[in-house]
Structure 1
Amino acid sequence: MIVYTVGTFDLLHVGHVALLEYCKSLGAVLAVGVASDEVVRSYKPNVPVIPLEQRMEMLRALRCVDIVLPYYELEYVSGCKEVGADIFVIGEDWGSQPHNVAVEAYLESEGKQIRQVAYNPRTSSSTIKQNVMTQPYKSNGSNVVFAS
């Protein structure tokens, strides 16, 4: 079984690792689609902190990940086809946007599965970014606080 999931994977953290290890437990091969900065910009207010190639390199280094590929458009059918996905894993915020409906229809027509998972409450990239922005920065003995 080939499992496919997608995401930004910016500021790789334990929530990402837990998701990826869960995905790997569902099949023999785990393929991960990584959103380009342009794709992220189309649905989030900020672009990733870590460049796409570096995000992909970090994912490749994880033992649970077998295939890493970028995606440059907000659609998932081509990635599912490219990796031959048997199971597509999505997050709890999955909605009814056209790109989501399209991949659901494709997977259903092919007899494939969709598994929805809850986000790990331990952390998130957004929380990490907020924490970094509120940390005092000491330079030459003075405290400087970054404003967001």
Structure 2
Amino acid sequence: MEEKKKKTVGYTTGIFDMFHVGHLNILRRAKEQCDYLIVGVSTDELCLSYKHKKPVIPFEERKRIIQAIRYVDEVVAQEDRDKFRAWETLKFDKMFVGDDWKGSPLFAALEEKFRRAGVEIVYFPYTQGTSSTMLREKLDKLENETV
């Protein structure tokens, strides 16, 4: 009798405001390392609570954009930043995150909790030259030049 291979469930999160190639790179690379990819899209309220700014693209539109990406199997609302609580609900095997978080106090503690739970954290290199913050700054600069 053939043994059934367990599907690997992956999880990543983001605001995904002003969708760009860096976002696509993370989703593509995550899907390459799992069979089923769940993506948490941060709500507008969550963004306001820790970034102190509202996303340019509203939550429901960002969610629809992410749902349309072929690498994504499921989209959930990320209403808080507690990744372990997300794991308790979603039971993923791997969590994918940008390497700009590696070594941060938040992820140092999370690595230990996830290690005990058997969850692997995979860090991806940050896409140089592109970010939503950079796009926002360019737009602000263009807006100020036309005034």
Query: 1:140 maps to what in 2?
Result: none
More strand by share: 1
- The one of 37, 44, 48 equivalent to 2:44 is 37
Q: What's the C-alpha RMSD, in Å, of the aligned pairs?
A: 1.9
Aligned length: 138
Instruction: Kindly state the Cα deviation for residue 105 of structure 1 after the two structures are TM-superposed.
Output: 3.5
Of the three residues 79, 89, 107, the one matched with 1:82 is 89
What's the TM-score, normalizing by structure 1?
Answer: 0.84
Q: Spell out, residue by residue over 1:54-73, the C-alpha distance to the aligned partner (whole angstroms, 9 max, x if none).
A: 11100000000011001212
What is the aligned partner in structure 2 of residue 130 from structure 1?
A: 137
Comparing 35-44 and 15-24, the one that deviates more: 35-44
In structure 1, the residue matched to 2:31 is 24
Q: TM-score, normalised by structure 2?
A: 0.84
Q: Distance in 1 between matches of 2:116 and 2:65?
A: 34
| Matched residue, 1:96 | 105
**Which amino acid is 2:55 matched to?**
P
Secondary structure of 1:133's match? helix
| Long gaps (5+) in structure 2 | 1-7
Give secondary structure in 1 for the equivalent of 2:130. coil
Whole-angstrom distance in 2 between the partners of 1:136 and 1:9: 22
